Chain A
């Protein structure tokens, strides 16, 4: 479904990704794990078009994403829940969700998408008139995921959805990600919370210092030495 081949990217003279190749198949949940500063967020941004790679290729269902204007990538079916959520803080929950369904193709379906998101996150329905910035971290994370789902994506990119949340809320967010995935949405998730994310994904890649150091089934990676090594920074 999504294929990255030898992608290089960075900011100015700083290179964050070195020849990263990665594949996500339809219906899968794939994790990318790695320590702080490994390039995980850059990887997500490169896929959703927020930054352009300096080399390599990114293809989603035969569409060359690098030949697609960044604002049209969501039309292809990729929705990105960015790091630290990035809600519109002084807009209501409802308006935030509305922005997620901004695509002309999504507008006629807006009613159904609102119902879908409110069913998944009943709390958001209660809070729909509340300013997004005034909610708790967990509520904001749900709103951010809900906003991404408004465009009816085929592939959902989640960047550190558990960051800054209380352990109970983290469990809740991961459970919801599993439900979304069970509903037919392919998921690519970047996490520092390794043990937990490996319980909900099928496969995972280990990213360190901008390159893929290991890949494999989640169960294998869970007790492999590579993970410990990556995290201890040896």
Chain B
């Protein structure tokens, strides 16, 4: 294997690992959109708060990592419910633009509140996870762990959506909102459960991202736009589409970054996104209507 092939393979593997985390990120946003028909513009700011929760629990209160992660997931899940009950639910009958503006307002509110509460310094867990060397390639253990946990998280959500009555109702409500009452489903309850799930996924994402990135009040800007674009690329509300789009995006970023600088990977990815908006504006896996 030539040295170049090794780099390419390494980039491909890193792309898959990144794709797993991006897929997890987009799943939460997609679920909420598919079910409630609202885009949580402030989704990445929930992740930011989760990362701070991890920082404080682990670095300041010295909680064991697994316990900290569990508390983080539950806390952000509760934040998701609060977001729904306080901001979204009262606006459900309002024009979609109002809902967008409101969650956009929450974004700036959370950023500012985090700046006041936590300061603008970059903070991290202070753990250095090893880098594995496999067949001449360097694979970050943190990324591997994040990929594995993201995959487990997604499988659990998948099983929940497939096997349980509530999960089936969540899939159904995304297809026909109005007749859910005929099935005996209280849509408001499903919305709250979905918000908890969306928040919980943001919490899990926070646990994984904080292993690789420093947390600061504006860290959401690094994940928010890309998560949103992945959802759009996959077809907003289309869970399978979002999953595929996450890996496509991650490979473009990872392999594109191989030839030039890492930043070029993002340039390629966003250029690809814009081009796709012309070619397939309805999303990669468009539904046949």
Min CB gap A111→B, angstroms: 14
Partner of B175, one of A50, A75, A90, A148: A90
Specify which of A75, A86, A91, A103 is in contact with B171 (CB 8 Å cutoff). A91
State which of A69, A88, A148 has its C-beta within 8 Å of the C-beta of B176: A88
- Whether B183 and A102, one on each chain, are in contact in the complex, defined by CB atoms closer than 8 angstroms, is yes
Given contacts A91-B171, A107-B165, contact A70 B181 (CB under 8 A): yes
Partner of A50, one of B165, B168, B182, B186: B182
Q: Give B241 Cβ to nearest chain A Cβ, in Å.
A: 12
Docked CA distance A190–B186 (Å): 26
In this assembly, does B2 line the interface, its C-beta being within 8 Å of a C-beta of chain A?
A: no
Contact, CB under 8 Å: A71 / B185? yes
A49-B181, A70-B181, A71-B181 given; A99·B186 CB < 8 A: no
A88 touches B184 (CB 8 A): no
The answer to whether A82 and B180 touch across the interface, beta carbons within 8 angstroms, is no
Interface 1/0s, chain A 79-91, versus B by CB < 8 A? 1101000101111
A48 proximal to B (CB < 8 A): yes
Interface 1/0 per residue, A47-85 and B, CB below 8 Å = 011100000000000000000011111110001101000
Answer yes or no: A154 CB below 8 A from chain B CBs: no
Contacts of B185 in A (CB 8 A): 71, 99, 102
Which residues from A are CB-within-8-Å of B175? 88-91
Find out whether the CB atom of A71 lies under 8 angstroms from the CB atom of B184.
Answer: yes
Residues of B close to A49: CB separation below 8 A: 181
Instruction: Please give, as numbers and ranges, the residues of chain A lying within 8 Å of B181 by CB-CB distance.
Output: 48-50, 70-71, 73-74
Tell me the count of chain A residues lying within 8 A, CB to CB, of chain B: 27
Do most interface residues of chain B lie in helix, strand or loop, or is the interface mixed?
helix
Q: A82 near B168 (CB under 8 angstroms)?
A: no
Which residues from 86 to 126 on chain A have a C-beta closer than 8 Å to any C-beta of chain B? 86, 88-91, 95, 98-100, 102-103, 107
A102 to B187, CA, bound (A): 13
Cβ-Cβ contact count across A and B, 8 Å cutoff: 61
Binary flags per residue of A185-202, CB closer than 8 Å to B gives 1, else 0: 000000000000000000
Q: Report chain A residues within 8 Å CB of B179.
A: 50, 82, 86
The answer to whether A95 touches B182, judged by C-beta atoms less than 8 angstroms apart, is no
Q: Is the CB of A103 within 8 A of B178?
A: no
Complex: chain A residue closest to B188, CB-CB: A71
Interface string of B181-211 (1 = CB under 8 A from A): 1111111000000000000000000000000
Is B172 an interface residue when CB atoms closer than 8 A count as contact? Answer: yes
Binary CB contact string for chain B from 138 to 152 against chain A (1 if under 8 A, 0 otherwise) = 000000000000000
Chain A residues lying within 8 Å of B133, measured Cβ to Cβ, are: none
Nearest B residue to A75, CB-CB: B184
Whether B169 is near chain A, meaning CB under 8 Å from some CB there, is yes
Any B CB within 8 A of the CB of A42: no
CA separation between A176 and B176, bound complex, in Å?
26
Could you jot down 22 A-B contacts, CB within 8 Å?
A: A48-B182, A50-B178, A71-B181, A71-B184, A71-B186, A72-B184, A73-B181, A74-B181, A74-B183, A82-B179, A82-B182, A86-B179, A88-B171, A88-B172, A88-B175, A88-B176, A95-B168, A99-B172, A100-B183, A102-B165, A102-B184, A103-B184
What 18 additional pairs, Cβ within 8 angstroms, besides A73-B181, A102-B183, A148-B182? A48-B182, A49-B181, A50-B178, A50-B179, A50-B182, A71-B187, A74-B182, A79-B182, A80-B182, A82-B179, A82-B182, A88-B176, A90-B287, A98-B165, A99-B169, A99-B185, A102-B168, A151-B184
Residues of A within 8 A of B (CB): 48-50, 69-75, 79-80, 82, 86, 88-91, 95, 98-100, 102-103, 107, 148, 151
Which 9 pairs show the lowest CB-CB distances between chains A and B?
Answer: A74-B184, A70-B181, A103-B184, A71-B181, A88-B175, A71-B186, A102-B183, A88-B172, A99-B183
